[in-house]
Chains A and B, each alone.
Chain A
Amino acid sequence: EVQLVESGGGLVQPGGSLRLSCAASGFTFSNYWMSWVRQAPGKGLEWVANIKQDGSEKYYVDSVKGRFTISRDNAKNSLYLQMNSLRAEDTAMYYCARMRMLDQWGQGTLVTVSA
């Protein structure tokens, strides 16, 4: 069974940093693109970033470019999202998802940016 388990969310002040993690199991992690998608409270879905199987290609939505970095460790079956210079508008549930076409999703981890 495919499992994606996010962690690392929490309350952070504006300008602060957080690192999200996603632990993958039940499939060969190194064979798949992986993605992050977020959902602000009461709002719709927004794709954030994705990364190729070997980490050689990474893509970001414009609003996070230069502030967020997606990475992965295939030996640890893990996906990461380093988030710096956080803003109030980054407050959201952050989901890890498999593939560019998002066929499997985790349960999400909540990031709240507030003073």
Chain B
Amino acid sequence: DVVMTQSPLSLPVTLGQPASISCRSSQSLVHSDGNTYLNWFQQRPGQSPRRLIYRVSNRDSGVPDRFSGSGSGTDFTLKISRVEAEDVGVYYCMQGTHRPLTFGQGTKVENK
């Protein structure tokens, strides 16, 4: 199975400042169809997960543009340009290139 490794696992943030989460996969996530199936999810406290980013860098509908995704191959990054209070929660990367689908351990973003 593809292992997804996130860092850091805990990220204290100052509101209004940028934040960045890294996700590395144990194998390349480039699919034979040419796409890279790397997604990012946000889970606010007490809520269901919500997809933010699909195929590395595409924001889902309604996702603020302060969220951006980048990367290729085995190294990926989620960036928040200016953290707002509603961004507190746990963030997960997930690969959908190889079966079974696998998630990272999660990064907890909290107020400093």
Taking beta carbons and an 8 Å cutoff, which residues of A are in contact with B?
35, 37, 44-47, 50, 59-62, 95, 100-108
Contact = CB atoms under 8 A, between A and B. Distances in A.
B103 A103 contact: no
Given A106-B48, A108-B48, A101 B96 contact: yes
Given A44-B92, A45-B94, A95-B49, A101 B37 contact: yes
A45 B90 CA distance: 11
Interface residue range, chain B: 20 to 34
Given A62-B100, A95-B48, 5 more contacts: A35-B101, A44-B90, A44-B104, A59-B100, A108-B48
13 contacts: A44-B92, A45-B41, A45-B43, A47-B101, A50-B101, A59-B99, A101-B39, A101-B54, A102-B49, A103-B60, A104-B51, A107-B48, A108-B48
A87 B3 CA distance: 24
B46 to A, nearest CB: 10
Contacts of A100: 96, 101
B49 A46 contact: no
A102 B99 contact: no
Nearest to B47: A107
Interface in B78-94: 90, 92, 94
B51 A102 contact: yes
B66 interface: no
B69 interface: no
B60 A44 contact: no
A46 B60 CA distance: 21
